């Protein structure tokens, strides 16, 4: 396994040193695909020289002991998610939207970065809930359902990209219809709706957005825990730890 270039000059030892550290991918990454269940084969390979990985993976940049939200943007989230979130938030900021909306745009697909894709609005809303206002977490949760539902009054149409992603005949599941209806009748509807209006895929070249432009806004609206995300014993700490150590066996 290759050492990530960011770790090249890190003098600290790695866990389980001297042993082969096997990675057993989480079932959600392979179930339903052509990849067979790897667990039994890996268990057969356990020996005094080969164990399952626990702790920092040298193939990933090492996280600081007290990680901040922007550390996850820089060191864990995939490039596509980072660019998409930064561009959405920058667009909302440039349009003069309220800071809570800019923050919701910045976080709306956060679970896609390094955690899980299915029901990403719900996962993302839950992940951030201990650290943002109830309204921001709500807007992130419901943007998933609202993405499918046009609202002509604000110029929002069903996304062309969804026709490409899912095919033109895609039928919405009942829970998405139900939750879009709940959102439409809620006092925070427009907060979530504005997230969907800025939820564009930038397939053309766009200038890279520096995450630091959101530092002040995060200072005002994201309750960064002193112990670091993952270590503050909030109801979602384990989700942040899963992103710090995505390859842990247990
Ligand atoms: Fe989304
Ligand atoms: Fe999005």
Is 63 contained in some domain?
Answer: no
Cα(47) to centroid of ligand 2, in Å?
44
> What value does the mean pLDDT take over residues 181-209?
89
How close is the Cα of 108 to the center of ligand 1, in Å?
6
Classify the phi-psi angles of 2: left when phi > 0, otherwise alpha if psi is within -120 to 50, otherwise beta: beta
Quick check: is 173 in a domain?
Answer: yes
Residues 152 and 200 in one domain: yes
Q: Are residues 28 and 86 in the same domain?
A: no
Phi-psi map region of 229: left, alpha, beta (phi>0 left; psi -120 to 50 alpha): beta
CATH code of 233's domain: 1.10.3210
Domain-embedded: residue 117? yes
Same domain, 46 and 83: no
249 belongs to a structural domain: no
Same domain membership, residue 73 and residue 44: no
174 and 230 within one domain: yes
Task: Say what the pTM is.
Answer: 0.96
Beta strands in the chain (DSSP E): 20-22, 50-52
Does the pLDDT of residue 243 top 60, yes or no?
A: yes
Quick one: which ligand is closest to 145's CA?
1
What average pLDDT does the chain have?
Answer: 96
Counting ligands in written order, the one closest to the CA of 89 is 2
Q: Are residues 15 and 73 part of one domain?
A: no
Distance 200 CA to ligand 1 centre (A): 10
For residues 117 and 237, membership in a common domain is answered with yes
* Share above pLDDT 90 across residues of the chain, in percent, rounded to a whole number: 96
Instruction: Kindly state whether residues 42 and 77 are assigned to the same domain.
Output: no
Measured CA to CA in angstroms, residue 94 lies from 89, 90, 115, 148, 210 at distances of 9, 6, 29, 25, 14
Query: Could you tell me the distance, in angstroms and rounded to a whole number, from the CA of residue 232 to the centre of ligand 1?
Result: 27
Whether pLDDT at 201 is above 80? no
pLDDT at 60 over 70: yes
Same domain, 73 and 151: yes
Q: What is the domain extent for residue 22?
A: 5-52
State the average pLDDT over residues 214-238.
98
Q: What is the pLDDT of residue 168?
A: 93
230 CA → ligand 2 middle, Å: 24
Q: Give per-residue pLDDT as tens, 131-171.
A: 999 999 999 999 999 999 999 999 999 999 999 999 999 99
pLDDT of 203 > 60? The answer is no
Does 212 fall in a domain?
yes
| Ligand approaching nearest to the C-alpha of 88 | 2
Look at the chain and report how many structural domains it folds into. 2
What is the tens place of the pLDDT at every residue in 2-33?
A: 899 999 999 999 999 999 999 999 999 999 99
Of the candidates 112, 87, 73, 77, the residue with the CA atom closest to the CA atom of residue 208 = 87
Quickly tell me which residue has 């995300």 as its tokens. Answer: 229
d(C-alpha 47, C-alpha 245), whole Å? 22
Same domain? For 88 and 115 the reply is: yes
Residue 165 shares a structural domain with residue 43: no
Which residues neighbour ligand 2 (ion) by CB within 5 Å?
109, 199
Q: Say yes or no to pLDDT of 204 above 60.
A: no
pLDDT for position 126: 98
Q: Does residue 64 sit within a domain?
A: no
- 206 has a pLDDT exceeding 80: no
Q: Are residues 93 and 22 in the same domain?
A: no
Tell me, what's the pLDDT at 13? 95
- Ligand 2: centre distance to CA 79 (Å): 13
* C-alpha 190 – ligand 1 centre gap (Å): 16
* Residue 172 covered by a domain: yes
pLDDT at 56 over 70: yes
């Amino acid at each position: 396994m290759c050492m990530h270039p960011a770790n090249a000059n890190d003098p600290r030892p790695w866990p389980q040193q001297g042993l082969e550290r096997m990675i057993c991918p989480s079932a959600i990454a392979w179930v339903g695909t052509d990849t067979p269940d790897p667990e039994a084969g890996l268990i057969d390979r356990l020996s005094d020289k080969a164990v399952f990985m626990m702790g920092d993976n040298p193939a990933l940049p090492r996280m600081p002991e007290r990680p901040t939200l922007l550390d996850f943007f820089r060191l864990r989230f995939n490039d596509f998610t980072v660019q998409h979130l930064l561009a959405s938030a920058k667009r909302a900021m440039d349009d003069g939207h309220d800071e809570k909306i800019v923050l919701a745009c910045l976080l709306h697909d956060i679970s896609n970065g390094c955690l899980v894709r299915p029901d990403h609005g719900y996962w993302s809303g839950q992940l951030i809930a201990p650290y943002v206002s109830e309204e921001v977490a709500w807007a992130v949760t419901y943007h998933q359902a609202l993405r499918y539902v046009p609202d002509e009054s604000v110029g929002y149409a069903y996304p062309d990209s969804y026709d490409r992603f899912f095919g033109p005949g895609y039928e919405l599941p009942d829970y998405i219809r139900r939750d879009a209806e709940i959102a439409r009748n809620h006092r925070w509807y427009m907060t979530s709706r504005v997230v969907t209006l800025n939820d564009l895929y930038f397939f053309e070249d766009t200038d890279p957005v520096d995450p630091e432009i959101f530092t002040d806004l995060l200072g005002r609206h994201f309750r960064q825990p002193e112990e670091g995300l993952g270590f503050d014993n909030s109801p979602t700490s384990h989700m942040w730890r899963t992103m710090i150590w995505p390859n842990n066996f247990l």
